[in-house]
A = this chain, B = another copy of it.
Amino acid sequence: MPRKPIELPRIELLSILDENAELDKALEPKIDPAGLKEMYRFMLLGRRADERMLLLQRQGRMGTFPQASGHEAISMGSVYTITKDDWHVPAYRELAGMLYRGWTLEQMFLYWNGFEEGARVPDGVNDLPVCVPIASQLLHATGIGMAMRIKNEKKVVMTYFGDGAASEGDTHEALNFASVFQAPVVFICLNNQYAISVPLSKQMRCETIAQRAIGYGIPGIRVDGNDVLAVYAAAKEAVERARNGGGPTLIECLTYRITPHTTADDPKRYRSDEECQLWMKRDPLLRFAKYLEKKGVLSEKERNEMEAELDATIKSAVQNAEQMAKSEELANPLNMFDYLYNDIPQSLQEQKDELAQHLAKKKSKSKVHVNPQKQPANVLPRA
């Protein structure tokens, strides 16, 4: 036998609503008006909440956080294809999707302001909280999918990771486990072309992340990540396949991080403003809004009303969150001991008592010595 090429599966690119809001009718997914409106509503809520958090952060009322603006189409287009019984395993730019799943704005504000309570999954919501250690959540999603298979349930898991996360060993192990066990997991890669300052070209040398699917024998596709219809169509197909025992899918959503990595990051150091401006024009909300307008689903007037209403919701949520932060339950440092184990071990109880005494003594003392509560701003980490 001479050199003989092997047959390889197809990896496709998909775009339905392009940056000029030109629609590919043949591929347009069927979503009823109410559904379309709901998707837009949560994309907008995510956007406005993200922008509000930025202001709060600048005012010192919010910690460092990774901005989600620009990723709404990926989050909503995909999460909208699963049901409440399915699972949602986000990374940390899925603000819109988390709000849609039932997380409260208050929790989002509390989370990024240093309160574990913001990570408490709401009752009845089948989500995992924001995950900070890159790529590690993909194995949890896969394990959940494996458990669904073991229990013969027709559920699916929707999970997320970034282009940088694609380099972690855990991502490889998660994709391979999901493939081997045909776990019903849809892997959504937010390819926003940067991992903090590291551009895609330094992260990998393959043309697409989608083609990695070939190495796992699973379907892979790259979609326009600013096109909510394309994300929805690809996700829907993957969810149906997974639900019917067809196993996992890798969906690469190409977008661009139009914001800094986090509020502590300064993109001027590593990329040009033009590049960013170019992508600003491709904003997923603008494009979707035009589509909805043309379709007669949501007029500009209705859109503005929606925005005003959401802004009001956000405003009061901020007030609530700041109230909650002051409550005894959330503010008491002693609660750091209360949730680690189902029952607190003796030695840990002793440490809790030790801190309790210390705090009591401190209260009753005039001269207090503590670490400087505030550090100079420039010690804040930029990741």
Q: Could you tell me which A residues sit within 8 Å of B by CB distance? A: 1-6, 8, 10-15, 18, 24, 26-27, 167-173, 176, 179-180, 182, 202-208, 210-212, 214-218, 222
Contacts and interface: CB of A to CB of B under 8 A. Distances in A.
Given A172-B169, A205-B216, A11 B2 contact: no
A13 B24 contact: no
A214 B215 contact: yes
Nearest to A210: B6
Q: 3 tightest A-B contacts by CB?
A: A169-B169, A172-B172, A212-B215
Nearest to A7: B207
A222 B14 contact: no
Contact of A5 (B3, B12, B172): B12
A12 B7 CA distance: 9
Contacts of A176: 167, 204
Contacts of A15: 1
Contacts of A26: 2
A206 B215 CA distance: 6
Given A1-B24, A211-B214, A11 B8 contact: yes
Q: Mostly helix, strand, loop or mixed at chain A's interface?
A: mixed
A169 B173 CA distance: 6
Contact of A6 (B5, B11, B182): B11
Contacts of A210: 6
Nearest to A8: B8
A283 to B, nearest CB: 19
A6 B211 contact: yes
B214 A8 contact: yes
Contact of A167 (B27, B173, B182): B173
Nearest to A222: B6
Given A167-B176, A211-B214, A214-B214, 15 more contacts: A1-B13, A1-B18, A3-B12, A3-B13, A4-B12, A6-B13, A8-B8, A169-B170, A169-B172, A176-B204, A180-B204, A205-B218, A207-B217, A211-B215, A212-B214
Contacts of A212: 214-215
A215 B215 contact: yes
